[in-house]
Amino acid sequence: MVDFHIPVYRASPGRDDSRVSLATLPPPAGPATAAPPARPESRVWRRVRWWIPGVIVVLLLGATSFLLTLSDLHERAEAGNQLVADSLWVRQSLTFQLEREAEALQLIASDLAAGNLTRGALEAQLQVFLRRGRESLVVALMGQGTQSSEILARDASISGMDPLGAAPSATIEAAMAKALRSGEAVFGPPFAAPWGAGLVLVAPVKGEAQAFLVAVYWLERALDGMVPWSFAQSHEVTLSDVTGTVHARRASAGRGRGVYTHQTPLEIPGTTLVLGTDSLRGPPDWITNVIRGGTVALAFLLFWSLWALWRDVQRRVAAEHRLREEVAFRRAMGDSAVIGLRARDLDGRVTFVNPAFCHMVGLPEEALVGHGPPMPYWIPERADEYQRRVDHVLSGQASTAPFETEFRRAGGERFPVVIYDAPLRDADGRQTGWMSSILDATEEKNAEERERLQQERLQTAARLTTMGEMASSLAHELNQPLGAIASYLAGSINLIERGGASAEDLGPALAKASQQAQRAGQVIRRVHEFVRKREPQRVALDAGRLLEECRALVELQARRTGAHISVEVEPGLAPIVGDAVMLEQVILNLTRNAIEAMAEVDPGRRVLAIAARRGEAGGTRISVRDRGTGIPDAVAEQLFSPFFTTKAEGMGMGLSICRSIVEAHGGKLAFERCDLGTAFHMQFPPP
Ligand code: ADP
């Protein structure tokens, strides 16, 4: 059974952009229901929580700075202590060596005084003395008052220098006086010489009144020779007098930094020198400063990242808030929707249903969500069909066009539904499933049914009207065969009454009577066929045959005005799939209008041309063309409106019904203005 009705409910095809994602949905007008309450945070906590890391960073900064200062102080103290220890060791070594020098010279002087030494032996011993301590340049024998002096030995490498001459005589004399008093060899205070700084060592030669052995030292050489190399590499060493005047300096690896310094008295026989040490080591500041600067930079970085994090969190909180509102809004939308909503994942499991859907199928949400096929609302005998549909949808081949089927309520009642499927995508655009809108079409189906019955009644009424209009012509049409039958029968009776009527005589007359009766019967049958209330049928119809079938009735219509009828059928036309009686009804309505439009024109012009030709896309086109008065613009606008008529006795339903019938056959009904009159075209698609 096929419904040729005008659907009241028309499903609009789904659009491709019907993706269900938050981004594509319209913004909410405001939360319809309250969002699920998150655990409330105290205002104080919310305010202070961002201060805590800041305070921690400041404390960390303070602690680091304190530790660095402490370590700095410690390092300075360590380095200072080390310097003092080293200086004392150098002082000891210098004192020891100079004392030994003094003792050695005193020994030679004593030997000389005892007369144990020849001149040659004295000079030889002094040479040994010079070679042992390379810092002494010359040794001379001098009388008191420095007036007489005799060089006994001299360092061969200092040719051109006069070390004894450079030494101030006052210095030598003061030293001689001191040596005399103590009876031991003594050093004089340091003096400046053109080649550097010098020091005299005076040893009294006992017995021989007013004679002294005087050695002149080169202080720089003394420093070079007596200060250990390793110490000199990391320190600047100076020798100064008690007034602070620096006389000799050893700075083989560069000048001291002035950070770690130490001054210690160098007590040697006869005089006191001051040993100054200045470490090449710089202050530990740069490391501390680098660490301090690095810590501050890191702290800033930390503050900055904290701030960035805070802003990010603020944004996320705001987004989360908006999302919650959005979710609440959408939930309210889903809850209040009268259309059933159902979401499925890619495995076909239901992930969401709204209350309308639960109400529709009479099942609670728990009975649906999380369940996969077969679903409890399926009709058992149609399970295969559903499964095919599910597979089709989930394979991604499903179109978004509506799909009609039937579901079963929990109570067993079946009801029609229309389903729209749309792909469900996540925020990245990846498909995560399908969202379906399900419409309970029970009401629509009922309305459609009522509409269909109404249409059917209207069509039947229209057919009866058509027949009513043709009643007089019909009477005339039937009159002819009936008259002919009557005359054949009367003739036959005459023959019989006269007697001797043989079968050969009666046969032809009775056969003709029978023919006429059949013709009348055919007319009656066609009329009966036409007006009979019946279910529409859907068969493949040949256009030529269709026109031939209704030709008799068209001729009946044309008889009143005497219009000439021409029927033309192009061979090899595609069949029209539909109901013959309904299509005849359309043709008869069009021919009736055409004949009526030609009622007023010159009788010679009354030609009704019916044609079936090849139409668009290989379909078939049936045209009814008249040469009547034509259709004015005002009429054309409302031509297909129900109840529009220009005729006194017209109903105005003809063309409206015709269009409904043609469209129910998938075709189109249109009209065309011609030079003379109008043409109506029915275009049917190929089967
Ligand atoms: P009715 O025939 O009962 O008036 P229809 O719906 O069949 O109802 O036609 C509506 C109107 O369209 C007619 O009253 C007439 O004015 C106009 N009409 C229809 N067919 C033709 C035609 N072939 N020529 C001129 N006018 C026509």
> Domain check: are 586 and 673 in the same one?
yes
> Domain check: are 100 and 204 in the same one?
yes
Q: Give the residue from 534, 566, 587 where a domain finishes.
A: 534
- The CA 5 to ligand 1 mean position distance, Å, reads 23
Instruction: Between 142 and 399, name the one with better pLDDT.
Output: 142
- The CA 216 to ligand 1 mean position distance, Å, reads 152
| Helix/strand/coil percent split, the chain, to 5 | 50, 20, 30
The CATH number given to whatever domain includes residue 585 is 3.30.565.10
> Domain check: are 551 and 501 in the same one?
no
The pLDDT value recorded for residue 687 is 87
pLDDT at 594 over 90: yes
The pLDDT value recorded for residue 533 is 65
The CATH number given to whatever domain includes residue 373 is 3.30.450.20
Cβ–ligand 1 distance for 640 under 6 Å, the answer: no
What average pLDDT does range 374-379 have in this prediction? 89
What whole-number distance in Å separates Cα of residue 47 and Cα of residue 339?
46
The pLDDT value recorded for residue 460 is 80
Number of C-beta neighbours around residue 77 at 10 A: 10
Please give, one letter per residue, the 3-state secondary structure of 22-53. Answer: HHHCCCCCCCCCCCCCCCCCCHHHHHHCCHHH
What average pLDDT does range 643-653 have in this prediction? 86
For 474, 479, 555, 556, 600, the CA distances from 560, given in Å and listed in that order, are 11, 15, 9, 8, 12
Cβ–ligand 1 distance for 645 under 6 Å, the answer: yes
Query: What are phi and psi for residue 7, nearest 5 degrees?
Result: -65, 130
The CATH number given to whatever domain includes residue 109 is 3.30.450
Least confident range of 204-213, 348-357, 632-641: 204-213
Cβ–ligand 1 distance for 642 under 6 Å, the answer: no
Nearest CA to ligand 1 atom 21: 593
Strands 607-614 and 564-569: parallel
Q: Give the residue from 440, 463, 483 where a domain finishes.
A: 440
Q: Is residue 142 part of a domain?
A: yes
Nearest CA to ligand 1 atom 13: 645
C-alpha count within 13 angstroms, C-beta hemisphere, residue 425: 17
C-alpha closest to that of 142 among 196, 117, 97, 105: 105
Q: Is residue 43 part of a domain?
A: no
| Nearest-atom index, ligand 1, CA of 624 | 23
For tokens 């210095």, the residue is 171
- The CA 646 to ligand 1 mean position distance, Å, reads 7
Q: Is residue 48 part of a domain?
A: no
Which of 459, 655, 672, when mutated, tests ligand 1's pocket best, judged by the most ligand atoms within 8 Å of its CB? 655
Q: Is residue 51 part of a domain?
A: no
> Domain check: are 409 and 352 in the same one?
yes
Strand order in the sheet with 678-684: 564-569, 607-614, 620-625, 678-684, 668-673
Quickly state the pLDDT bin for 572 (edges 50, 70, 90). very high
> Domain check: are 564 and 664 in the same one?
yes
Let me know: does 616 contact 683? Beta carbons within 8 Å.
yes
Query: What are phi and psi for residue 541, nearest 5 degrees?
Result: -115, 140
The pLDDT value recorded for residue 398 is 63
> Domain check: are 100 and 193 in the same one?
yes
Q: Is residue 175 part of a domain?
A: yes
Quickly state the pLDDT bin for 161 (edges 50, 70, 90). confident
- The CA 460 to ligand 1 mean position distance, Å, reads 19
Largest CA distance in the chain: 221
Cβ–ligand 1 distance for 513 under 6 Å, the answer: no
- The CA 55 to ligand 1 mean position distance, Å, reads 93
| Nearest-atom index, ligand 1, CA of 655 | 6
pLDDT at 97 over 80: yes
The pLDDT value recorded for residue 613 is 96
Cα distance from N-terminal residue to C-terminal residue, the chain: 17
Q: Is residue 663 part of a domain?
A: yes
Let me know: does 643 contact 652? Beta carbons within 8 Å.
yes
Q: Is residue 50 part of a domain?
A: no
The CATH number given to whatever domain includes residue 530 is 1.10.287
Cβ–ligand 1 distance for 641 under 6 Å, the answer: no
What average pLDDT does range 274-297 have in this prediction? 82
What whole-number distance in Å separates Cα of residue 596 and Cα of residue 610?
15
Number of domains in the chain: 4
Cβ–ligand 1 distance for 466 under 6 Å, the answer: no
Nearest CA to ligand 1 atom 19: 593
- Side chain identity, residue 534: R
Containing domain of residue 605, as a range?
538-687
- The CA 579 to ligand 1 mean position distance, Å, reads 24
What average pLDDT does range 348-374 have in this prediction? 91
- The CA 635 to ligand 1 mean position distance, Å, reads 9
- The CA 645 to ligand 1 mean position distance, Å, reads 6
Cβ–ligand 1 distance for 597 under 6 Å, the answer: yes
The pLDDT value recorded for residue 208 is 53
> Domain check: are 507 and 363 in the same one?
no
Burial 214-223 (b: 16+ CB within 10 A, else e): bbbbbbbbbb
Nearest CA to ligand 1 atom 8: 652
The pLDDT value recorded for residue 522 is 82
- The per-residue pLDDT of the chain, averaged, comes to 84
Instruction: Between 207 and 117, name the one with better pLDDT.
Output: 117
The listed range with the strongest mean pLDDT (113-122, 603-612, 653-662) is 603-612
> Domain check: are 494 and 542 in the same one?
no
Hey, what are 44's tokens? 């104080």
- The CA 559 to ligand 1 mean position distance, Å, reads 19
Please name the helix (run of DSSP H) or strand (run of DSSP E) that holds residue 563, with its range, or none: none
C-alpha count within 13 angstroms, C-beta hemisphere, residue 657: 26
> Domain check: are 638 and 524 in the same one?
no
What pLDDT digit, counting tens, does each position of 314-326 carry?
999 999 999 999 9
Least confident range of 43-47, 85-89, 382-386: 43-47
Q: Give the residue from 405, 440, 475 where a domain finishes.
A: 440
> Domain check: are 206 and 168 in the same one?
yes
> Domain check: are 268 and 177 in the same one?
yes
| Nearest-atom index, ligand 1, CA of 650 | 3
Instruction: Between 565 and 73, name the one with better pLDDT.
Output: 565
> Domain check: are 345 and 469 in the same one?
no
Q: Is residue 258 part of a domain?
A: yes
| Nearest-atom index, ligand 1, CA of 656 | 6
pLDDT at 673 over 90: yes
